[in-house]
């Protein structure tokens, strides 16, 4: 059975992917939602790697460009890595700050952070060990290659026809996300005319983990409204 259209929901890199799908394959997307990641207008004259230099909080992405350097740092102690990455908005002030600016200058993302980091209350020990087990063999090279392929993706995007995102769309911002700032989503309404907004002021970056009830309330309310207006889902015949 072929499903002709889907409703897509993404977070962080997943958010970038669902916006791309909505732009370049709109016939397959019924509605689209992103947590934290806005749809940013692409500049045909300025590759992403160049633009990143103008936004200090994205310096970590420039650090990720050199193969091997970030892998070595992130894979050195996987438990420490995930303890550093995962923290809730409520824990921001009580934990050693993870700065994504100035990473290249100081020689690493974790430089200056203590060796012993406490596990976030939103991350169970079972969750932590699952992440460790998934990265123990494969490491970080493939995830980091997403960052290293940005210029190639940018070239592809400008080789393809695209338009505005016209289907129903939802943008959920988080007030305590230190990198994907809510302000980055300003101006999105020009690119996404049928945009609904949600905001969770006390959420950090990991919105669906940090504030699951609030996130689900926003998503479910929007999904019900979108699908009520669209009517029942239709299925293509099995090929």
- Annotation marks residue 127 as catalytic: no
Q: Give the residue from 117, 152, 187 where a domain finishes.
A: 152
Number of structural domains, the chain? 2
The answer as to whether 178 is a domain residue is yes
pLDDT at 84 > cutoff 90: yes
For residues 128 and 83, the answer to whether their CB atoms sit within 8 Å is yes
**32 pLDDT tier (thresholds 50, 70, 90):** very high
**239 pLDDT tier (thresholds 50, 70, 90):** very low
Per-residue model confidence (pLDDT) at position 228: 85
pLDDT at 233 > cutoff 90: no
What is the mean pLDDT of the segment spanning 51-68? 93
| CA nearest neighbour of 32 among 211, 162, 195 | 195
> Are residues 78 and 139 both part of a single domain?
yes
Q: How does pLDDT run across 205-229, given as a tens digit for each residue?
A: 999 999 999 999 999 999 999 988 7
User: Which among 11, 60, 177, 205 is annotated as catalytic?
Assistant: 205
The answer as to whether 192 is a domain residue is yes
> What is residue 106's DSSP assignment?
H
What is the mean pLDDT of the segment spanning 60-75? 97
User: Which among 12, 24, 77, 127 is annotated as catalytic?
Assistant: 12
DSSP bridge partners of 174: 200
What is the mean pLDDT of the segment spanning 99-109? 96
Rounded Cα distance, 98 and 32, in Å: 30
pLDDT at 237 > cutoff 70: no
> Are residues 81 and 55 both part of a single domain?
yes
- Annotation marks residue 46 as catalytic: no
Q: How does pLDDT run across 153-206, given as a tens digit for each residue?
A: 989 988 888 889 999 999 999 999 999 999 999 999 999 999 999 999 999 999
User: Which among 63, 147, 177, 210 is annotated as catalytic?
Assistant: 147
Q: What's 225's domain CATH number?
A: 3.40.50.1820
> Are residues 115 and 181 both part of a single domain?
no
- Annotation marks residue 147 as catalytic: yes
Q: Give the residue from 126, 152, 178 where a domain finishes.
A: 152
Per-residue model confidence (pLDDT) at position 231: 63
Per-residue model confidence (pLDDT) at position 47: 84
7's CB contacts (< 8 A; 6+ apart) are 29, 30, 31, 32, 33, 223, 226, 227
Q: Give the residue from 152, 183, 209 where a domain finishes.
A: 152
> What is residue 205's DSSP assignment?
S
Rounded Cα distance, 73 and 83, in Å: 14
**236 pLDDT tier (thresholds 50, 70, 90):** very low
**140 pLDDT tier (thresholds 50, 70, 90):** very high
Domain range for residue 206?
A: 6-42+162-230
Per-residue model confidence (pLDDT) at position 86: 96
Q: How does pLDDT run across 10-26, given as a tens digit for each residue?
A: 999 999 999 999 999 99
**234 pLDDT tier (thresholds 50, 70, 90):** very low
């Amino acid at each position: 059975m072929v499903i002709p259209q889907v409703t897509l929901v993404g977070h962080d890199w997943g958010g970038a992917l669902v916006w791309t799908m909505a732009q370049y394959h709109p016939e397959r997307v019924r509605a689209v939602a992103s947590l934290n990641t806005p749809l940013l207008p692409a500049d045909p004259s300025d590759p992403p790697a160049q633009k990143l230099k103008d936004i200090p909080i994205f310096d970590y992405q420039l650090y990720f460009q050199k193969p091997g350097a970030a892998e070595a740092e992130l894979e050195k102690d996987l438990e420490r890595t995930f303890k550093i990455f995962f923290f809730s908005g409520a824990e921001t002030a009580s934990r050693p700050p993870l700065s994504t600016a100035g990473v290249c200058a100081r020689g690493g993302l974790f430089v200056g952070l203590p060796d012993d980091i406490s596990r976030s209350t939103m991350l169970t020990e079972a969750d932590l060990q699952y992440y460790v087990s998934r990265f123990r063999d494969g490491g970080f090279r493939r995830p980091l290659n997403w960052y290293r392929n940005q210029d190639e993706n940018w070239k592809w995007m400008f080789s393809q026809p695209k338009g505005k995102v016209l289907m129903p769309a939802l943008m959920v911002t988080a007030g305590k996300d230190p990198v994907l700032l809510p302000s980055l989503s300003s101006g999105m309404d020009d690119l996404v005319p049928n945009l609904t907004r949600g905001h969770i002021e006390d959420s950090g970056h990991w919105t669906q983990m940090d504030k699951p009830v609030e996130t689900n309330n926003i998503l479910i309310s929007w999904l019900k409204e979108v699908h009520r207006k669209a009517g029942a889902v239709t299925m293509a015949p099995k090929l």
